[in-house]
Chain A
Amino acid sequence: MDMKVAKKLGLKERYTMMTRDLAWDTTFQPMDKVFPQVGYEGIKIHDWDKWEDPFRLTMDAYWKYQAEKERKLYAILDAFNQNNGHLSVTDARYINVLKLFLGSTPPLELMAARGFSMVARQMVGAGPRVACMMQSVDEYRHFQTQIHSISNYNRFYNGLDEFAHQQSRMWYLSDGKSFFDDAITAGPFEFMVAIGFAFEYVLTNILFVPFISGAAYNGDMAAMTVGFSAQSDEARHMTLGLECIKFMLEQDPDNLPIVQRWIDKWTWRGTRKLASVGMMMDYMLPKRIMSFKEAWEIYFEQNGTALFTDLARYGIKVPKCFEQTIEEKEHITHQSWIGFYMKPDATPFHTWMPQPEELDWLSEKYPNTFDKYYRPVYEYWIEQEKAGNRFNNKTQPMNCQVCVSTIKFNEPGDPMEMCFRETEYKGEKFHFCSDHCKEIFEDEPEKYVQTFISSHAALQGKCEPEGTDVNAHDYRPGARMHAYWRMDKRASGDFNGSEDQKNFAKWRAQATRN
């Protein structure tokens, strides 16, 4: 009997057969009517088949490896819980980094999932459609695993349970939310630059690599495994973002100025978002592996330069903000921590003054700026705290109309001066944290006049808990922000004296004694 043995297909052939060969052009309706969004931004594409996923990942292989990742992840989470893993972290201050990280990230992952499923529908080529679909499923996975991780800590510690409610309402969560809102309301190609390039290539490297390695260093197996499991998808996401940029630039020289503007805009937006991640590394990890400045140098300056050198062949220039970010890397984390410490009643996590050896570590890591500008502030506040006078700023912050971070960063070239810009549009004044944000606004004012800024809206009586009568004669705008935020009082205030601090000490003592 003759039997034909089919030769096993190679990776490249398999990829072609399972993606491009399964796609077809529509005939009942013209293609440009079925895929109208790809034309809106002015990007010209001539041959969608030129786009290939360099991972050559097909759907069957995708499910196989993702299932394996999930099995590993949940086995580790189970072990962590069975062992009371939360008590093995360095000290209870560490839990606050999780409140900030896990409280702000899952809703952003969900937005990424939504965005990529939209773009997967909008892109014409089979290559990007499949890759975007996979990324959408990945991001949904990150959203779910991070929430599972929250629930493990939520059993023991305060301030984690209202993250979904707080996402759209809390002043310090607005920068991340606005980043994704801006991206998802842009066209498909800008979305790819915003998330695939700026968020994945610039941001996740710092968020998930040194920061998660730092979580491991602080004994947090759960955050480590969730973070690394997510990051195992990010390598694919960065590749997709990079591929999209190359693809646009190779398809038509007219795409260059559009892509350049997006790179300028989104590199800046990513940088602004990173200030709080850097602060977590420098101030909130009790044990530190590297400073934000060092991470920035490796993952942005060196790695970014490698990319921009490479893209120079298409005429791409280093983003306009590059120089400013190099100057700012020595300042922003300190300015952010000062900003959060000042408002102990306005966050569902605790803040504190660095310990003496931590101040010394900061001096060593930031020799040009720390002793000169920031140590004196901390020494003054430490003294005030000892005198029973812990600093507490009860006012609403002012936020940038574009990046929605609080206006607190310094004037370029002058660390003692706060940077502040404003512009007028249709008779109304708008405020910005920087020249870059002002420029982004002026490019698309109709988009950014719509930005929702809770700390400003609160003063107009728009952020009140249900049942508030804003016309009552004794009404004071913003006076009931805590109820509007659904803030757990136990979760706010200084770390010293907090319920978390006491519980952690008690539980750890129980774990080592009868």
Chain B
Amino acid sequence: MTSNAFIAFQKNEETRCIVEAIVEDNPAAVVVDQPAMVKVDVPGRLVIKRATVEEKMGRDFDLQELQLHLITISGHLDESDDEFVLSWQR
């Protein structure tokens, strides 16, 4: 069985765009809505692409801004200027 990589954010205007971007870039994503927070599960590997988030937000976005909204993550992290990847596949 593939383990889920996941990420959870506080619910706000910025993370609404980030979650939209995740859903677009990870077809297997499952979004779980909870009071004040939102969690996204993806089997195996979850990627957040800077370009997609920028498109959703309509402004420049630095992936390190994710720090402001993060609640929790699961999976090994690899972060570059363009991608924030959580993965159990290595």
Contact = CB atoms under 8 A, between A and B. Distances in A.
Given A11-B80, A306-B74, 6 more contacts: A11-B63, A55-B67, A228-B10, A232-B69, A236-B67, A310-B76
A449 interface: no
Contacts of B52: none
Given A57-B64, A65-B64, A228 B37 contact: yes
Interface string A32-61: 000000000000000000000011110001
B13 interface: no
Interface in A401-459: none
**Residue among A10, A210, A235, A303 facing the most chain B CB atoms (10 A cut-off):** A235
Nearest to B63: A11
A161 interface: no
Given A55-B77, A55-B79, A232 B71 contact: yes
Contacts of A57: 64, 67
A289 B77 contact: no
B74 A303 contact: yes
B51 to A, nearest CB: 15
Q: Which 9 A-B pairs have the closest CB atoms?
A: A306-B3, A216-B36, A217-B35, A54-B77, A235-B70, A65-B67, A216-B35, A235-B73, A11-B81
B77 A213 contact: no
A236 B77 CA distance: 10
Interface in B27-54: 34-37
Contacts, number: 93
A70 to B, nearest CB: 11
Contacts of B73: 235, 238-239
B71 to A, nearest CB: 5
A231 B65 CA distance: 15
A228 B4 CA distance: 22
Contacts of B6: 303
A115 interface: no
B61 interface: no
Contacts of A306: 3-4, 74-75, 88
A426 B21 CA distance: 63
Given A217-B35, A309-B3, A12 B10 contact: no
A12 B68 contact: no
Contacts of B69: 232
B79 A56 contact: yes
A238 B68 CA distance: 16
Interface in A52-84: 54-57, 61, 65, 68-69, 72
Contacts of B4: 302, 306
24 contacts: A10-B81, A11-B64, A11-B79, A54-B76, A54-B77, A54-B78, A54-B79, A55-B67, A61-B64, A65-B65, A68-B68, A69-B67, A205-B72, A208-B72, A209-B8, A210-B34, A217-B35, A228-B10, A232-B70, A235-B73, A236-B67, A303-B6, A306-B4, A309-B3
Interface residues of A, number: 40
A176 B67 CA distance: 28
A224 interface: yes
Contacts of B72: 204-205, 208-209, 231, 234-235, 238
A498 interface: no
A50 B87 CA distance: 19
A223 to B, nearest CB: 11
B59 to A, nearest CB: 16
Contacts of A204: 72
B34 to A, nearest CB: 5
Contacts of A302: 3-4
A214 B35 contact: yes
Contacts of A310: 3, 76, 88, 90
A209 B37 contact: yes
A289 B80 contact: no
A224 B76 contact: no
Contacts of B78: 54
A303 B5 CA distance: 9
A133 B69 CA distance: 21
A141 B4 CA distance: 31
Contacts of B3: 302, 305-306, 309-310
B80 A65 contact: no
